[in-house]
Structures are given as C-alpha cells and as structure tokens.
Chain A
C-alpha cells in the first residue's frame, strides 16, 4: 500500500492554481510527476499523491518545480473561474478508475503525436540540409567553370594579339627587304655572275624564284644565300660508321620473347652442367677425361655412329652417373635402345628426356621433336599404335614442316584403321 501524501496546500487566482506539496523526505524527479488535463499524480515509491482536478487545466503550459523537499505546481486553468476546491469530492471508485485510465490513454496519445511531429520535423530538416549542400556544390562547380572559361578567353585574346603582331612584323620586314633589295641589285650584279659558275644547286633555284612574288622574300634569298655560302662550312666528307646491334640470346625484342620461360630453361641448363654426383669411390679409377660427361657423350655418339650400340649405352650410362640432369644423354641412350630393340628402355629414356626438356622453348625444339619421334617409334614397334600416334602428332605440332614425321604419322593412322576394321 502506498503512503498517501495529503499535506498539500493550494492557492488560486482566476487563471491559475498554485499547489505546493511537501514530500516527506522523498526525492522527486521529473519522471515521478504525471499530469493530464484533469488528473495529477505524483508517485515516489512508496509515496503517492493523486488528485482529480476540479476543472480541466492546460497541462502543456503548466509547470512543476521541485525544490527543497517540496513540489510547487503552477497549473493554468483552461477556463478562468474560481474553483471551489482543488479536487473533485465524492468521486466513487469506478469513476476514479475510469478517470485514471483515461488520463493514461490521453498521455499516451499525446506522446505518440509528439513523436510523429518530431519525425516529420526531422525529415524536413534533412531535406533542407541536402538542398543547401547541393546548392553550395553547384556554386562551387560554377565558379571553377567560370575560372576556366576566363583562362580560355584570356589565352585566345593573347593569341590573336600575337598573330596580329606577327602580321605587322612580316609586312614591315617585307617592305624593308624590298628597299634593301633594290640597293643590293646594283652592287651584286657582277658578283652574281661569278657565283653562278661556282655553285650549281642555287642556279636551279634562282631561275624559279626570280619571277615569283613570295612575299618579297624569294628573290632576296637568292642573293643572301649566295653570300652566306661562303660563311657555311663545306659539306662534310662522306664517311660510314658501322654499327652492331645488341645481341640477344633469343633474337626477338622484349615484347616478342617469352623471357620468363627462356630464362628458366637457361638456368636449368646451367645447373645441369654443374651438378656432379658424389659417387666418388668407383670414379677414382677413371681418367680425368672419362669423368667429363660431355666427353663421354661424344664418345657415345661416336660409338652409335659406328654401330657399336652396347658401347654407346655404356658410355651414356657412365655419363649419367656423373650427371643425371642432361636431357641429351637420355635422348641419345633412347636411340641406342631403339636400335638394340630394348623398346621399354627406349620409352623410359625418351620420357625422362622429355621431362627434363621443360619448359618448352624454341631452344629445345629439335630435342623435343627427336624425343617424341623416338618414343613414338618404340610404341609402334610394341604395337601400341595409338600411343605411338599421339607422340608423332606431338612431334608434328612442334615441327609441322617435317615431311618424314608426317608420312610416318599417316602410316600409323592407316595401321590403326586397319586393325580396328580387322578386329
């Protein structure tokens, strides 16, 4: 049960009611006061004060002052009249309840309306702000445009001025030259004859320009040019300078080359030449030259040429033990195996060679073609014609102009078709 506060004191004038309410030590905040047109409530738990007012008041303008443990209400009456009492007496419970609820509802509605009004205001403000900024930006833009326009016009004017000056200058010069010309003609008549003999090119020019009016310049130039001939140095004695162009490992300009891949290939080759396997124990018996993979490769090639395929294979084996990164060794050993009809070994070696021959660049084209052809041949001899054809076609792609490869590819295709029809 709340504690009712009943020690209020009130005074009134025609238009206002002054109510003072002592709060028995309770602390009041603006939130604890609830006021509508006919209902006034102060609720500070556990204290409670409520009053059904005698007549409606203007609750928007009425004020409440919280001070020194009292609340002073200044309530402005809606109709100026003297009240008999502050509150309505003899109000039954139901009416009281009804009034209370009404009051709350009214307050709600009011709050809602206020909220809406606020929202609308906000929207309007926003719109206004936006328009204002837009105007400002427009103004700024216009200002810049104007500046640019002014520049342009100023410059155009200057240009016109300059051109007119040029014209005047030209005219002045031409009249001057005419005068000088007449003076010089007399003097230079004899010298002209001399000059005519010496210089040949000006001769052609004088006959053309003499009779033309080229702003008075043409005929003048004939004479002054002849004079100047003496002051200019003679034409240079002819000479040739030979030039060399910057060599490139790959003869294409930067924009045409595939530099990254080519660099990779070169790097790999350099690396390959440097690696030497560490199998030293058996190699100690060998002579110095036999430890050089290139020398061994050459030896192998010679053996192959002579027909001694086993010896060639041995040489390549040794070379590979020393350096297993040289693709050419695998390639040549594959050729030997082909001749020896070790077809599987041939396929293995060609595959290894192809592995080592990545990235595919123009430099290792011929090597790759050979690898594909040898592997293709091995496949065909094993009667794996489709694989063989694949390799031949790969070789053809790298080197489309090779007639032998084309012929062989055709043959294989026929063979495949023949077997398919047969089986």
Chain B
C-alpha cells in the first residue's frame, strides 16, 4: 500500500478471508445479496460449490454442495434476478444450470464439449441487457458454443475450427454489444494469442487479431451497451485495451497496451458502477487497479479517409500484493461499489473493499 501522500488514492482494504480445503477456480457474488459463491475442485477429484455469507467481517459457510466433476467456472449472467440460477462449466465439458435451493438435479444439463470448459459467460439475465438469455462456453477443444437454456442439447451457435485445422485451446470468452434484442457479440481469446470477435446477429467473424501471447481473460466494459472498450490480458504481464467504437476495415480496432506485472495477468474485471475502472489480478498474487482515460478525439480519418479509432491511456491507481500464489478469479459486487471477492491458488478466498472510488 502507498504511504501518506497517496492516501487520497483508492486503497484496497482486506475485509475478510477464508481458508478453503480445496482449490478454488472461480468465485462469484450472488446478485442482490451479500453472499459469495466459490467453485472449485477438491483433492479427491470432485467438484465443490460453497455458498458463504459475509457477516461482520467474516465469511460464514451456508451451503456446501459436492458434484462428481471438478468445476472450473460459473456465471449468474443468464438468469433472472428472482431465480438466480448458477450456470457452471466443469472439467469434463459439461454445462449445467443449477437451482441452488435444489442442487441435486440440474435445471439444464448438456455435455457441451469434449474437453474442459475453460470459461463461461452469460447475458440477458439479471435485468442487464436485452434479448434472450444466453450462455457462451469456451473449451480446450478449440470450440466456442452459445447455448440457450430453452433449447436442449444443441447450441444455438458454434464457433469451431475449420476441418483439418489444428485446434488451439480457447481460454476465455465474453459477451458484449447486447444493447437491443438482436445485437450480440462474443469475444474469444485463445492460447496462441488469437482474439476473435463473432457477431451473433450475422453469424460471422467480425474481427480477429493476434497479440502474440496467450490470452488469459477478455472482458467488455459493459455487456449491455454498444460495445465501447475491450480489455484482453495475456501471459507475460501484458494487457491490451481496445477501443471498440470504431472499426477500421483493415486495421481493426485501435488499442493501447500496458505491461504491468512480470507474471501472467489471470483476470480482468471492470467495476460495474464505473466502466472506466478495472482491476487486473496477476500470477504474483497482486491486484492492480487501473483507470482508462479517453483521448481528446476518439476517432480520426486516416490517409484514405476511412475512420480509425484512437486509443486512450491507462493509469495505475493502486496496486497491492495479497498472496504468493496467483489470484485466479475476481468478481466485483454489483450491489456495493468497491466490494470485491477474489480467489487465489493458495486456497484462500478474500473479500476486499476498495475505498475512495467515488472520488475518481
């Protein structure tokens, strides 16, 4: 933490932490509550879902659910606020949607992929965004599939490698651009550094690029608006912020990149209450809080008269080291500004509060 002159900067205060007996892969806030969901893999190879409640600076365990396969990722993104069903992807490639009140039998289940589902995202639920609720999963088998919970067994969109092409693991997926009922976009990052943007309205590849290092995490700053910014983090401590408002026919989107930590940046998460602030978590157990500043002009004309985007700049607001192991998952609470939960490979889940975000 910074010294006296920096006390006007946001501080990251550790509020509560809990030691776990399993490896935690993902942690999520349950919407509209002070509850945290932890997903992971127990030592004996089974999946664990634990529900904690935040009470007076401690995390109290409410429920523990065991599943046959280790669980890698989960999201509440595609359910309504009343139902709050959890969609999970596990090590076997199964996509399940659970009702946490009755978790014995999934509400929806499909063996979506042949290999582990690395990343999952949901859109259309929680009162955010418009259109049908959909879930996208990205897997090590190189495919990205979009599912609608109302349609059994088959995905509504499938992004797979061309026949005969050697596949690359898909490490991360994210929804975006869901500002009306028809528009929707899926961004996928792969382990060879490819980032691909698929447009679901036209069912086509809208843009692709390669950032040389494997892409660990992508996220749009907001899912439910005309796509504005996309942050992609990669190995070797680099992340790129793309300005998604202006697409140039050949050069694609403008970007600014920053080398932050010497280790892999595992996750990036935007603050739900302010889309220009985001936090990155790194392989050295550190968290960095960043602010994006827009340039004076967001687009300009190039020599042929085509519109080209202009990327802004990123500044570091705060950084803190919490653990010696990588912090693999991070989630902001959508209800309380500055409250976030993070899970690290040292089998600890921590609740943190970031102060002074109002003053930014």
Report A's interface with B, CB cutoff 8 A.
140, 144, 147-148, 151-152, 155-156, 159-160, 162-163, 166, 170, 199, 201, 204-205, 208-209, 212, 214, 217-218, 220-221, 224-225, 228, 232-246, 248, 251, 253-255
Given A225-B80, A244-B161, does the pair A155, B194 have CB atoms closer than 8 Å? no
Interface of B (DSSP majority class): loop
Q: Are A241 and B205 in contact (CB under 8 A)?
A: yes
Q: Are A245 and B166 in contact (CB under 8 A)?
A: yes
Q: How far is the CB of B30 from chain A (nearest CB, A)?
A: 11
Which residues of A have CB within 8 Å of B151? Answer: 235, 238
Q: Are B56 and A255 in contact (CB under 8 A)?
A: no
Q: Are A246 and B192 in contact (CB under 8 A)?
A: yes
Q: Are A236 and B194 in contact (CB under 8 A)?
A: no
The number of chain B residues with a CB under 8 A from chain A is 71
Which residues of B have CB within 8 Å of A224? Answer: 82
Stretch at the interface among B3-11, B222-230, B243-251: B3-11
Within the complex, which residue of A148, A152, A237, A241 is in contact with B159, where a contact is CB–CB below 8 Å? A241
Give the residues from 44 to 68 in chain B that come closer than 8 angstroms, CB to CB, to chain A.
Answer: 54-57
Which residues of B have CB within 8 Å of A148? Answer: 1, 11, 13
Which residues of A have CB within 8 Å of B1? Answer: 148
Bound-state CA distance A163–B35 (Å) is: 10
Give the residues from 196 to 217 in chain B that come closer than 8 angstroms, CB to CB, to chain A.
Answer: 196, 198, 200, 203-205, 208, 210, 212-214
Bound-state CA distance A147–B356 (Å) is: 14
Q: Are B355 and A151 in contact (CB under 8 A)?
A: yes
Which residues of A have CB within 8 Å of B149? Answer: 201
Q: Judge if B191 is at the interface, Cβ distance under 8 Å.
A: yes
Bound-state CA distance A140–B34 (Å) is: 37
Residue of A nearest to B186 (CB): A241
Q: Are A255 and B214 in contact (CB under 8 A)?
A: yes
Give the residues from 273 to 308 in chain B that come closer than 8 angstroms, CB to CB, to chain A.
Answer: none
Which residues of A have CB within 8 Å of B192? Answer: 245-246, 248, 253
Which residues of A have CB within 8 Å of B190? Answer: 245
Bound-state CA distance A163–B60 (Å) is: 14
Report B's interface with A, CB cutoff 8 A.
1, 3-4, 7, 11, 13, 15, 32-34, 54-57, 80, 82-83, 99, 101-102, 107-108, 124, 131-134, 146, 148-152, 154-162, 165-168, 181-182, 190-194, 196, 198, 200, 203-205, 208, 210, 212-214, 235-236, 335-336, 339, 353, 355
Q: Are A238 and B82 in contact (CB under 8 A)?
A: no
Which residues of A have CB within 8 Å of B80? Answer: 221, 225, 228
Q: How far is the CB of B292 from chain A (nearest CB, A)?
A: 25
Bound-state CA distance A253–B305 (Å) is: 36
Q: Are A255 and B159 in contact (CB under 8 A)?
A: no
Which residues of A have CB within 8 Å of B196? Answer: 243
Given A163-B54, A166-B32, A253-B214, does the pair A241, B158 have CB atoms closer than 8 Å? yes
Which residues of B have CB within 8 Å of A199? Answer: 150
Bound-state CA distance A233–B11 (Å) is: 44
Which residues of A have CB within 8 Å of B159? Answer: 240-243
Q: Are B148 and A243 in contact (CB under 8 A)?
A: no
Given A241-B198, A242-B160, A254-B193, does the pair A159, B132 have CB atoms closer than 8 Å? no
Given A235-B151, A244-B161, does the pair A214, B198 have CB atoms closer than 8 Å? no
A-B pairs with lowest CB-CB distance, top 6: A235-B148, A236-B156, A239-B203, A235-B151, A240-B158, A246-B210
Q: Are B161 and A156 in contact (CB under 8 A)?
A: no
Residue of B nearest to A151 (CB): B355
Q: Are A208 and B102 in contact (CB under 8 A)?
A: yes
Q: How far is the CB of A333 from chain B (nearest CB, A)?
A: 37
Q: Are A221 and B3 in contact (CB under 8 A)?
A: no
Bound-state CA distance A255–B213 (Å) is: 7
Which residues of A have CB within 8 Å of B4? Answer: 140, 144
